[in-house]
Chain A
Amino acid sequence: IVGNVVVVVVVVVVVGGGGGGGGGDDLLAHIYHMELNRVRFMLRAYYRTRLFKIEQHVLHVVKEAEVFARLSPQEQEYATNYTNMVEEHFGSVLGQLPEKYTSMLQQIEEEEDAELDMVPEPNLDKHVFCRVKEDRGNFEIDPDDVENTVDLAQGDIYLVRYRFIKALLEEDAVELI
């Protein structure tokens, strides 16, 4: 997505630059300029939001390969370095706890492969509003409740647990609102 947006910015800049040349094109230049600012804002907000989300759950992001793969190379570097910084900072205090309690990943040190119980994960059970983008007919919403299907018609709006529509969202069959 970012690649496309950057291309758009370049186009607007070029056209805007050209437009500013002619005196009678002031209004056009003005509009192009506004558009450029808007696009730049979107880009900045997009990057910022991703960074904040990474920071919120950095340990989870770094440890789950599937999630880490969704990051750009720069974001991956950011996440890794950020993790180290956090580890160092917390470590300065946690290191003074009794041995076995010093980890920031586990409450108390257990055997290998024990669950890292102090790593926060995004809450997939939060309810979200979503709109259906394409007809999906009878859809099995809850894997634990096989009989309960919902007829997803385009334009429908639902309030549902994120977990249940996660796959649909990835297929772009629904959008969050």
Chain B
Amino acid sequence: RSAHDAREAMSAFGAKGAGLVRDIAQSEAGTIPPYNDELIRTVLDECQEHHRSILKLIGDIQEAGTSLEAAKPDDAASILVHHQAVLRNKRALLVYLNERMRRVRALRWEVGTGLPEVVAENLSHSERSFFTSYSGLVNKYMGRRGGVGLNLTLDPTPPKDHKVQVRVLEDYGEIVTRDGNVDLSKNTVHLLWRDEAQPLITEGILEKLDE
């Protein structure tokens, strides 16, 4: 590899990693952008490159007969820089994965156990597995056997009123409520019991009207 290439590569240390962090940091909160498999690959490959450089440097030192402790400062510095580069990339990877994982968890709480197709497309295979396992974990905790027996996804905000006024966003047909049957046609307004309306509000069928 020519010295020029090496110099160029050197000044780019951490750039790809930073790119990964930017990817997720600049995405709109609450959304999950497509899994950047390509960039992850690149960062991982970069790490392997650094590692190879480290091993080569160590190899050269040992070949010259010196112990690692007594190595020249320049060589020691080079090894250190490569090492730190790997650590930096590792941190970037984790920031990326961690933030995405946080958003995937939020999905379970806000949307439920069904992962919408449009969202699933953007997740990596591992993230999809994680969602399924996490969903199961939450379900188990909320369940009656071995769990607390309470649906924790309800009541995300403190209940203000007993009944809520809602507007129907799309035709849903007739539903049975404690007070009788209600016909949910688009754009009609109804006064419903909060716990009966909540699931439909979450699903997007009804819109809560604030006072």
- Partner-B contacts on A (CB < 8 A): 30, 33-34, 37-38, 40-41, 43-45, 47-48, 51, 55, 74-75, 77-78, 81-82, 85-86, 88-90, 92-94, 96-98, 101, 104, 107-108, 118
- A78 adjacent to B44 (CB under 8 Å): no
The dominant DSSP class at the A interface is helix
Q: In whole Å, how far is A35's beta carbon from the nearest beta carbon of chain B? A: 10
- B47 adjacent to A98 (CB under 8 Å): yes
A22 to B152, CA, bound (A): 32
- B155 adjacent to A44 (CB under 8 Å): yes
A37 to B158, CA, bound (A): 9
Given A47-B150, A89-B127, A96-B44, verify A107-B87 contact (CB < 8 Å): yes
A104 to B124, CA, bound (A): 19
* Among A33, A93, A104: residue with most chain B CB under 10 A: A93
Q: Is B48 among interface residues, defined by CB-CB distance under 8 A?
A: yes
- B47 adjacent to A97 (CB under 8 Å): yes
- B44 adjacent to A89 (CB under 8 Å): no
- B86 adjacent to A97 (CB under 8 Å): yes
Size range of the interface on B?
35 or more
Given A85-B134, A93-B97, A101-B47, verify A74-B148 contact (CB < 8 Å): yes
- A30 adjacent to B51 (CB under 8 Å): no
Contacts of B140 on A, CB cut-off 8 Å? 77-78
Contacts of B51 on A, CB cut-off 8 Å? 98, 101
Contacts of A41 on B, CB cut-off 8 Å? 155, 158-159
Ordered by A's residue number, 13 sampled pairs between the chains whose C-beta atoms are within 8 Å are A34-B159, A43-B150, A44-B151, A44-B155, A47-B148, A88-B126, A92-B124, A94-B93, A97-B47, A97-B48, A98-B51, A101-B47, A101-B86
Residue in A38, A93, A104 whose beta carbon sits within 8 Å of that of B40 in the complex: A93
Q: Which of B93-137 contact A (CB under 8 A)?
A: 93-94, 97, 101, 105, 124, 126-127, 129-130, 133-134, 137
- A89 adjacent to B152 (CB under 8 Å): no
Q: How would residues 167 to 183 of chain B score, 1 for a CB under 8 Å from any chain A CB and 0 otherwise? A: 00000000000000000
Q: In whole Å, how far is A48's beta carbon from the nearest beta carbon of chain B? A: 5
A45 to B54, CA, bound (A): 51
Q: In whole Å, how far is A81's beta carbon from the nearest beta carbon of chain B? A: 5
Q: Is B65 among interface residues, defined by CB-CB distance under 8 A?
A: no
Residue in B40, B141, B162, B195 whose beta carbon sits within 8 Å of that of A78 in the complex: B141
A94 to B140, CA, bound (A): 28
Given A94-B90, A97-B47, A101-B47, verify A44-B137 contact (CB < 8 Å): no
A97 to B90, CA, bound (A): 8
